[in-house]
Structure 1
Amino acid sequence: MRLLHPAGRLLHLSYCTNVHPAENLEGIVGQLDEYALPIRERLGSDVLGLGLWLAAPVAAALAIDAEARKGFRRELDVRGLEVVTLNGFPYRSFQNPVVKQAVYHPDWTTPERLRYTLDLARVLADLLPDDAARGSVSTLPLAWRHPWDDARAATSMQMLDLLAAGLADIETRTGRIIQVAFEPEPGCVIETTAQAVAMLSGVDTDRLGVCLDLAHLACAWEQPADALRALREAGISVMKVQLSAAMEAGEPEALREYVEPRFLHQTRNPAGGSVDDLDEAFETELPGPWRVHYHVPLHSRPSAPLVTTTPLLRAAIGELVGGPDAVCDHFDVETYTWGVLPPEQRPQNAGQLADGIAAEMAFAHDELLKGMNA
């Protein structure tokens, strides 16, 4: 979906396809028909944006096959779908029964992560709509915090230098600008805005920047205005925004039904208390209130006394698009947890999942409009 900022800048709104399990090209094309096309039709939109997730083997195959990229672009075009951003955080197997900390591997100390990200950039250069100003690839915030030392930090900076050089080469060869956005996340080397500033200030900031995930920002108990000010003052661009909401509980006992085995649900309180998963928060009796890294549907409200961090999402949108120009033009709805929600909230079939994603997209579209016109 597209929106025009009052300043004249085109904003792109998409939904992230890492909610779907397909990890081969045939399966990905199939999920366009099963989910993306019905979502576009439910929204009554001429064009639907996808924050496409391609597992590493698919990205590698497409990166070396120009005809396959052209064919995939045609599959998108005939369905009224477009791609300006890719989610390059999960390497593969993101909807396995158990993911947890595996999602942080390979990390930015490895050539595998560099190769995967440049493969994605090469693919995206051919998928971009002709009128898109640029493309973005979001990625993990360097690595999980353990193990991490000076040697690993130095290696990661070398990888980022190679990444920037590779992106420059892609721009030279294709004429398309592709930028890579590092996504601060609880428990990682880059968890907070201050850590993003510290770790990214020395990189090529024309090509490398931040993906601001609003659920992660909430779990760090940061305020959007403060975070954006710190990034701006450091000269680090917000190259992508993930529109997401986390769970919040003043009475943590109500969160027990959200404990599940697939994803990591880092839990934080405003006093700086932190644990790496929701079950650990119960075991250690972490004092409340809690915010939990559990992406929940943007448009719905959980049962009391639970709430979500949607108010922070609205505040962030106001900061991002409410000024004389937009801070960022790529907005991706990333609720990948539909399949692990408590049973009574979980979609039971493809049609119900399409309904839910379409409702989220409509909510996000309306909130962006409100933010621009406030």
Structure 2
Amino acid sequence: MNHDYPLTYCTNIHPGDAWADVRRNLEDHSLQVKRACSPEHSFPLGLRLSAPAAFELDGAEIHRFANWCEARDCYVLTLNGFPYGAFHGTRVKEAVYLPDWRDPLRAAYTNRLADILAQWTPRGQARSISTVPVACRSGFAAEHWTQVRTHLLHTLTHLARLHEHGGPLIRLALEPEPYCVLEQTREVVEFFERMRFPASVADYIGLCFDCCHQAVEFEQPTDCLAELERAGIRVVKVQVSSALRARGNAIANLLAFDEPTYLHQAVLRTQDGELLRFSDLPGLARWLERGEPADECRVHFHVPIFLAELGEVGTTRFFLEDCLPRLAPETPLEVETYSFGVLPPALRLDSPGASIARELNWVRETLDAAHGRH
């Protein structure tokens, strides 16, 4: 098996938000995945640190964890700084975006993550922190852009100073998502044109390209990646994820995935080609009650990436199969299937550790096949 690809999974799939939870999940799950997928090679970690965990860590514990990684042949490749607080076992929904980039708390949290990550990263290497796509679309107004730019510049300046003072290159990776201020690729391009970040900090921001999110938008990998390249927007990392998909009369089967924890945005394509957007599955259900015919619907629900079908619905695995071979080989890849615990019981597969290993192996096999490697 080829190990050249910088490939990991995001630990946000494991419940728990305190630092003790993070450590326990690494011991119980991540090391199991390393043994299965990378027993003889250093294993990258896609670490999710909540704000409570990040501010709980002191210098001694940061140093202890660096030693832990070295002893177990692991290293931190990227941090997920998207969910600020609880992410499992409670109603998350729209609260996952809060505090957003209108709030100085978001900048303070992200700066803290950068300070921690800098201590876990060898000089001369690059790392990333993914973050919310500015804010949820609902309630965002034009007058908020000034606050957003101020707080983003505060963090980008912080990243630049870390680097200039001998630290690693750490980039902020905005993650577009349906129902958010940054949703479609064209909105990402417009955002960078609007922000006009100074040249002194422009290299410290880019994109976390989540394949599930862009597939839900009915975007094509070749088109959106080319649009980002033309605009000079760096893809800092790619989250390898897959969405739900159904066509025609089968669209109603998507409603079985409605659950109370996460927001499951839906985009429906009518038979005339119009795209209708719903913030969550109840909105889709109300539209379907009208009885109007539809062509296809895709839903933001991170499902196991190796599956082309899941029960009576399909997935957007085809997007991954098209997208992955188009990426630069050095692009960090982070599998992010955090919904194992909220899948309908009949559709739950292996243990999380076994499923993660299967997902990482699927990515490697897909890339090896695309690049003619064995």
Structures share fold, TM-score greater than 0.5? yes
User: Partners of 1:172 and 1:104 in 2: how far apart?
Assistant: 30
Asked if the contact 1:56–1:91 (Cα under 8 Å) also holds between the matched residues in 2, the reply is yes
Counterpart mapping for 1:274-293 below 5 A: 274-285=277-288, 287-293=294-300
Corresponding residue for residue 40 of structure 1:
34
Corresponding residue for residue 341 of structure 1:
343
1:21 equivalent in alignment to 2:15:
yes
Of 94, 98, 103, which aligns to 1:105?
98
1:167 equivalent in alignment to 2:176:
no
User: Partners of 1:288 and 1:256 in 2: how far apart?
Assistant: 16
Alignment size in residue pairs: 357
User: Partners of 2:115 and 2:362 in 1: how far apart?
Assistant: 32
Greater shift, 264-273 or 297-306, is seen at 297-306
Partner amino acid for 2:133? P
Displacement of 1:215 in angstroms is 0.4
Q: CA RMSD in A?
A: 1.9
Of 200, 204, 216, which aligns to 1:219?
216
Displacement of 1:76 in angstroms is 2.2
Q: Deviations over 1:162-209 (max 9, x none)?
A: 111010111123420000010110000000110001112322430101
1:306 equivalent in alignment to 2:344:
no
Change (3 A) 1:131 1:274: same
Give the match's secondary structure for 1:197: helix
Change (3 A) 1:59 1:205: same
**Which structure 2 segments of 5+ residues have no match?**
none
User: Partners of 1:273 and 1:104 in 2: how far apart?
Assistant: 22
Corresponding residue for residue 46 of structure 2:
51
Corresponding residue for residue 145 of structure 1:
137
User: Partners of 1:229 and 1:276 in 2: how far apart?
Assistant: 28
Q: Deviations over 1:32-84 (max 9, x none)?
A: 1110111111225333222100110211233xx33221111122222332211
1:187 equivalent in alignment to 2:179:
yes
Displacement of 1:371 in angstroms is 3.3
User: Partners of 2:116 and 2:123 in 1: how far apart?
Assistant: 17
Asked if the contact 1:12–1:331 (Cα under 8 Å) also holds between the matched residues in 2, the reply is yes
Q: Deviations over 1:81-120 (max 9, x none)?
A: 2211011110010113211001010000111000111111
Give the match's secondary structure for 1:147: coil
Change (3 A) 1:61 1:303: closer
Counterpart mapping for 1:188-267 below 5 A: 188-201=180-193, 202-203=196-197, 204-250=201-247, 251-267=250-266
Work out the percentage of aligned pairs sharing the same amino acid: 34
Change (3 A) 1:73 1:304: same
Asked if the contact 2:216–2:267 (Cα under 8 Å) also holds between the matched residues in 1, the reply is yes
Asked if the contact 1:139–1:180 (Cα under 8 Å) also holds between the matched residues in 2, the reply is yes
User: Partners of 2:16 and 2:230 in 1: how far apart?
Assistant: 40
Give the match's secondary structure for 2:309: coil
Asked if the contact 2:123–2:168 (Cα under 8 Å) also holds between the matched residues in 1, the reply is no
Displacement of 1:303 in angstroms is 4.1
User: Partners of 2:321 and 2:356 in 1: how far apart?
Assistant: 18
User: Partners of 1:18 and 1:292 in 2: how far apart?
Assistant: 20
**Which structure 1 segments of 5+ residues have no match?**
5-10
Corresponding residue for residue 7 of structure 1:
none
1:178 equivalent in alignment to 2:170:
yes
Displacement of 1:125 in angstroms is 1.2
